Homo-oligomer: A and B are copies of this chain.
Amino acid sequence: MEVINIQEKFTRVEGYWNPHIVAELNGQQVKLARLKGEFVWHHHETEDELFYVLKGTLRMAFRDKEVSIGPGECIVVPRGVEHKPIADEEVEIMLFEPASTVNTGNLENERTRTNLQKI
C-alpha cells in the first residue's frame, strides 16, 4: 500500500503517447501519459476510458464535435465511440481504464503500445 505521488511518477514517464501504469485495482489500471501532437482516430470495442488532465489542454475530437479538457477536468469516452486526442502543446494525463485497454484501440500500428511499464 504505497502512497503514489503522481508528479513524482511523471518524472519516470518516457516519451509521448506511451502510457505507464501506476496502479491496478478491480481489473482496472491507472496510467500516466505525456501527450504532444495528434494521435490516431480509434475506438475501444469493450472499454470505457477516463481521461483526467493534469497539465495543459487536451483536445478530444469526435466525429461530430470537439471538446477541450483543461487541468482538473476529465471526460469519459464510452466504448465504441471514435475519438482522436490532440495536444497542441504538451499535456499530462491520468487514465482510468480496464487493464485490457490498448492505447490505439481497434487499430494496431506503430503507435500501439503493449507490455506497458509499471512505474
Contacts and interface: CB of A to CB of B under 8 A. Distances in A.
Interface residues of A, number: 32
A76 B6 contact: no
Nearest to A77: B1
A6 B72 contact: yes
A76 B27 CA distance: 13
Most buried by B among A2, A6, A68, A72: A72
Contacts of A68: 3
B96 A25 contact: yes
B1 A25 contact: no
B96 A6 contact: no
Interface of A: 1-7, 23-26, 28, 30, 47-50, 62, 67-69, 72-78, 81, 96-98
21 contacts: A1-B62, A1-B76, A1-B77, A1-B78, A1-B81, A2-B75, A3-B67, A3-B75, A4-B73, A5-B72, A5-B73, A6-B72, A7-B72, A23-B50, A25-B48, A25-B76, A26-B48, A30-B50, A30-B74, A30-B96, A96-B96
